[in-house]
Amino acid sequence: MDLQFLGAADTVTGSRHRVALGGQSVLLDCGLFQGYKTLRERNWAPMPAAASEVDAVLLSHAHLDHSGALPLLVRAGFRGPVHCTAATRDLCEVLLLDSAHLAEEDARRANRDHTSRHTPARPLYTVAEARRAIAQLRPLARGRDTVRIGHVTATFRPAGHLLGASWIALNSGDERLVYSGDLGRSDDLLMPPPEPLEQADVLLVESTYGQRLHPPGDPVAELGAIVRDTIGRGGSVLLPTFAVGRAQALLLALQRLKEAGELPAALPVVLDSPMAIQATALYQRHRRGLRISAAEAAGLDQGVMLTASSAASMRLASRRMPMVILAASGMATGGRVLHHLKRMAPDPRHAIVFPGFQAGGTRGARLLAGETEVKIHGAWWPVRARVSQIAGLSGHADAQGLMEWVSALARPPRSTFVVHGEAAASDALRHRLQERWNSPVHVPEHGSSWSA
């Protein structure tokens, strides 16, 4: 068994892990780097491994930091299958096309406004390239959770976290490698808890929350209090949200707050993201993968204003009554949320609430750090709105949840690799695992390799 850590090895994004096992070369995830510019620039570098030599990609879930570089891999010569669950396949189509569209739009804007150092500015990849990658997605057949790649069997098991998300086990002879992907939490609003881990010779485990515990409070109640306070002073609430997963959890939370009488039933809720609108429909289509009732799944978008067109989004600026706006992206790095930020950030009546983790270097992280100006589309905008974060809505297992997941193992892995985390989080989880097992636990460096 040979491993090569091509991403998410010294940071929380860009998940790409190459495994040579049983005569096969398999890539676990193929995600984009996000956050600091030095990390984003890795997306423009050539693929570190020969794409044509990869036999298959195994995709844990659809988030772009796990799937968003698939068009780059295909452009570099990969022609094999991308195996995933049916829900992951459907969500990937939405996410990859949106990612490509935004990249093309950003390049057009930069060329028009002469705001790029490169002439001409070009997108990371195009919509046509995203469609070619989507054509290589191979969803598991209904009722099946395994696929064979030569002499290797890959098994997909529910991981919580996101619709269709899986942890993946690779088996070849007596060797068993397990890759956690991103693990969900036991008390997630939408997703059931991850299926327990039973056995692993080599383990790759994520560490996004490797040093943190989720706050003990009720995030739904916290959201309700912020919304009531904001509309009480005549303002609106902007929720920069990930279009897939987080947006649907927020819709459920707002639905429950209204049903409980904690928010006015007539309070307008706007879902201002074509991708989030499509993803919500997919959550309803794949509702058997959720922990909520069929009625709640069907009601996620009932009474919600769905603004699919950019013209409808722009018209929101003329509405003076308080409202709750959910707009992508979740870290305020692009998309329609930027237009709302330009309008709402200078007004102290409004609230900007980040319902999730903000990677270092993102606009969301800078706003939460208290910056009084924010740069959007080449111009600086004052920040007078109230900026806050609801940490308890994260879809990731925290440090305790990660330890509970691995605690089901009958014996410790021969080797464990802690990935997908900032340095402090990964090292904290490494320390806890090493104490528990007294066996090798590593935090690999970007580009490093390991052989057994």
pLDDT tens digits along 308-321: 998 998 898 888 88
Asked if the model's pLDDT at residue 49 lies above 80, the reply is no
The total number of residues shown for the chain amounts to 452
In three-state secondary structure terms, 204 is strand
Q: What is the pLDDT of residue 10?
A: 87
> What is the residue-averaged pLDDT of the chain?
94
**pLDDT tens track for 251-296:** 999 999 999 999 999 999 999 999 999 999 999 999 999 999 999 9
Token pair belonging to 260 = 């409980």
Asked if 368 and 389 count as a contact pair (C-beta separation under 8 A), the reply is yes
Q: What is the pLDDT of residue 48?
A: 66
Asked if 267 and 235 count as a contact pair (C-beta separation under 8 A), the reply is no
| Closest by Cα among 216, 226, 213, 287 to 252 | 287
Q: What is the pLDDT of residue 104?
A: 94
* CA distance linking residue 392 with residue 223, whole number of Å: 10
**pLDDT tens track for 70-94:** 999 999 999 999 999 999 999 999 9
Query: What pTM did the predictor assign?
Result: 0.91
Token pair belonging to 35 = 């956050």
User: What are the chain's domains?
Assistant: 2-212+395-451 (3.60.15.10), 219-393 (3.40.50.10890)
Q: What is the pLDDT of residue 362?
A: 86
* CA distance linking residue 401 with residue 411, whole number of Å: 18
Q: Determine the average pLDDT of the residues in 90-111.
A: 91
Q: Of the ranges 68-82, 113-127, 412-426, 429-443, which one carries the lowest mean pLDDT score?
A: 113-127
Q: What percent of the chain has pLDDT over 70?
A: 100
Q: What percent of the chain has pLDDT over 90?
A: 82
**pLDDT tens track for 3-24:** 999 999 989 999 999 999 999 9
Q: Determine the average pLDDT of the residues in 33-58.
A: 88
Q: Of the ranges 234-248, 328-342, 392-406, which one carries the lowest mean pLDDT score?
A: 328-342
| Closest by Cα among 85, 103, 176 to 139 | 85
Q: Which helix (H) or strand (E) holds 147?
A: strand 146-149
Burial of residue 119, with CB atoms counted within 10 A of its CB: 0-12 exposed, 13-18 middle, 19 or more buried:
exposed
Q: Which residues lie below 8 Å from residue 114, measured CB to CB, with a gap of 6+?
A: none
* CA distance linking residue 312 with residue 292, whole number of Å: 31
